[in-house]
Amino acid sequence: VTSEVVDRVYNEYIGNAENRAQVRDGLLEALGDLLFVLSAIEVARYHRDAGNAVYFYEFQHRPSSATGVVPEFVKADHGDEIAFVFGKPFLAGDV
């Protein structure tokens, strides 16, 4: 990794941060892009190149069940959309 790449990544995600919370949010955004978005885009391109329709979304609705369980700065965790898409059939108990 060259210093130019490091500088570009830093400037994209953290460069304009004015406080520690913004640094945290930028780091979480960078990690999310690295762990989820890049691979999702790659798979979407394979499907597109095979002639299939591709739809891409980002779920950010914070479920009420997250209150008191996850920090307030977390919008939605990986998999939180499942309950909204399928109407909670996969959740056990009263959530």
Q: Using CA atoms, how far apart are residues 63 and 5, in angstroms rounded to an integer?
A: 36
Q: Using CA atoms, how far apart are residues 46 and 39, in angstroms rounded to an integer?
A: 11
Grouping H, G, I as helix, E, B as strand and the rest as coil, residue 38 is helix
Tens of pLDDT, residue by residue, the chain (95 residues): 799 999 999 999 999 999 999 999 999 999 999 999 999 999 999 999 999 999 988 888 888 888 899 998 888 888 888 888 887 765 666 55
What's the pLDDT at 53? 97
Q: What range defines the domain where residue 18 resides? A: 1-50
Q: Provide the domain count of the chain.
A: 2
Q: Using CA atoms, how far apart are residues 56 and 15, in angstroms rounded to an integer?
A: 27
**Looking at this protein, which amino acid is placed at residue 91?**
L
* Whether residue 62 sits in one domain with residue 45: no
* Whether residue 32 sits in one domain with residue 2: yes
Assess contact for 63 and 80: CB atoms under 8 A.
yes
